[in-house]
Structure 1
Amino acid sequence: MTTYRTIFLSDLHLGMRGCQADRVLDFVRQHDAERWVLVGDIVDGWALARSWNWTQAHNDVVQKLLREVRKGAEMVYVPGNHDGAARQFAGLTFGGILVQREWIHRTADGRRLLVLHGDEFDGVVRLAPWLSTVGARAYELSLALNTVVAHVRERMGRPYWSLAAALKDRTKKALQYVDRFEEAVAALAAERGVDGVVCGHIHRPEVREIATGDRTTLYANCGDWVENCTALVEHHDGRLEIVRWTGVLTPTVATRGDGLAHSLPPRLALAAEAAGVGLPLALTDR
């Protein structure tokens, strides 16, 4: 298990059909941190309102995150626009999880980072309404195709690759939106007098310095688990890094008393499933 000082996760979109819940679970199972910061759109309330799509993998992700809290990790939850109903509980703690509208994170090397989801800046960098509507429909179609492509590649033993992200990276208007968004978020951080900002929302993982007046401001975006399968991590020396989790998943089998699906070598998984037994966590966690 890889251990970090802090792990930032955003845009899991649990409840959305395009959510890569199995990969989220695989990542959380194989990484540990002193603090977990959930940077919005963890549960997609908008998608669930349209049609109920809550699989066992989605439930397992929630249970695994709660288990990290029970193990002693600190967890901060900054809701986004798709789970905006939770914003009314800002300042309260539920089951050891602190809900905040915004959060100031201090890194190991002393930098102060403003943590927010980022949907607040949609109005600042808004596209033409008709383009937004067309883009939303095209995005939904690309996610549907993305699921098919990911499944085929998985069957072929190939690592995860996002068709949706590739199409977005080749769209000029989308790139212009991303650039304006990043600059606007960095400008707010500079205005607040902090050293940088951590956000999500636009599904574009990035860590870079942005010029803001007579100084530079750190901009860090966690990415997402619909297109890119990325997390932002802080090492114990304060260094920030984007981690991509795109490897081929192994077959899973649930263990008794835990409720989670743990990765096993294929032959061992089939044997355990046939025998109807659960294996110790030390054997099942890769």
Structure 2
Amino acid sequence: MTSAEFVKPSRKQRVRTLWISDVHLGTRDCQAEHLSQFLKGYHADKVYLVGDIIDGWKLRGGMYWPQAHTNVIRRLLTMAKRGTEVIYVTGNHDEFLRRYSKLILGNIQLVDEAIHVTADGRHLLVIHGDQFDVITRYHRWLAFLGDSAYEFTLTLNRWLNHWRARYGYGYWSLSAYLKHKVKTAVSFISDFEEAIAHEVTKRELHGVVCGHIHHAEIRKVGEVDYLNCGDWVESCTALIEHWDGSIELYRLADAQAKAALLKAEMVAG
């Protein structure tokens, strides 16, 4: 049994909305199997792909596209065919799609940003967030330099989780752990959150759903509801809106831990 199969929902859960971001299909660190398994567990009215779903930066340097990455695309297309509205919000790694913004293909829309109205009436800006990252926006060469160092950390992360899976342990993100410990990273995240919250306030909206910084979070920034999807290369996280408008942060590691506990209780019982 692979670690992706470790948490297998018994039936699809009906939810109002799913948000995922920063999948980075086309890279070796994309957790495509985990994402496919997650998507199989839900029937949603809407799915927002909040940027960096396909990594155009990496694909320019050479083609890497295993079957697991195709399976993610097929799963999303199947959801759209069955009535789910799929809204692809462009990011900086898939910025090549921005020239096709406002394209509509059946239940699939391509946009640079969107406004989502929750079941409880909140108006949320849905945007990738690279527009509020000073390094990405004004110092592109620094972004590429940082991307290389980050890639090295993800390589360590991949090997660590390979051996964890072999010995029966669940997924754990080394790179996400380091991000919490490095002061400059913590400061960068805080600056990003403040910048994007300021824009939401200026637009007189209730909150924002974003990605980009690979740091999943639900919290208040002043009066703004700040919700970050996280990613599917480090943390394997998503946002889920239920029918009452409440939004839950899904973490693969928590889901695996819960499944392991239930299994242990069943064996003990």
Q: TM-score, normalising length from structure 2?
A: 0.86
Structure 2 residue 183 is the aligned partner of structure 1 residue 176: no
Give the counterpart letter for 1:195 in structure 2: H
Note the C-alpha offset of 1:136.
Answer: 3.1
| Matched residue, 2:246 | 239
| Matched residue, 1:56 | 67
| Matched residue, 1:160 | 171
Whole-Å separation in 2 of the counterparts to 1:87 and 1:5? 27
Residue identity over aligned pairs, in percent, reads 47
Structure 2 residue 147 is the aligned partner of structure 1 residue 136: yes
Select 1:7's aligned residue among 1, 18, 24. 18
SS of the residue aligned with 1:246?
helix
Structure 2 residue 99 is the aligned partner of structure 1 residue 88: yes
Aligned Cα root-mean-square deviation (Å): 2.0
Whole-Å separation in 2 of the counterparts to 1:61 and 1:181? 29
Note the C-alpha offset of 1:94.
Answer: 2.1
> Does the Cα contact within 8 Å between 2:130 and 2:136 map onto a contact in 1?
no
Give the counterpart letter for 1:218 in structure 2: D
> Does the Cα contact within 8 Å between 1:125 and 1:177 map onto a contact in 2?
no
Consecutive aligned runs of 4 or more in structure 1 exceeding 4 Å deviation: 124-134
| Matched residue, 2:260 | none
Note the C-alpha offset of 1:130.
Answer: 9.0
Whole-Å separation in 2 of the counterparts to 1:130 and 1:78? 24
> Does the Cα contact within 8 Å between 1:195 and 1:217 map onto a contact in 2?
yes
SS of the residue aligned with 2:200?
helix
Note the C-alpha offset of 1:228.
Answer: 0.3
Q: TM-score, normalising length from structure 1?
A: 0.81
Quick check: 122-131 or 3-12, which moved more?
122-131
> Does the Cα contact within 8 Å between 1:158 and 1:248 map onto a contact in 2?
no
Whole-Å separation in 1 of the counterparts to 2:202 and 2:214? 24
> Does the Cα contact within 8 Å between 1:38 and 1:78 map onto a contact in 2?
yes
Structure 2 residue 46 is the aligned partner of structure 1 residue 35: yes
Select 2:211's aligned residue among 184, 193, 200. 200
Provide, for residues 220-248 of structure 1, a one-character-per-residue CA deviation record: whole Å limited to 9, x for no partner: 00000000000011111000111012379
Whole-Å separation in 2 of the counterparts to 1:21 and 1:243? 16
For this pair of structures, how many residues does the alignment match?
245
Gaps of 5+ in 1: 250-286
Provide, for residues 90-115 of structure 1, a one-character-per-residue CA deviation record: whole Å limited to 9, x for no partner: 11202421111110000000000001
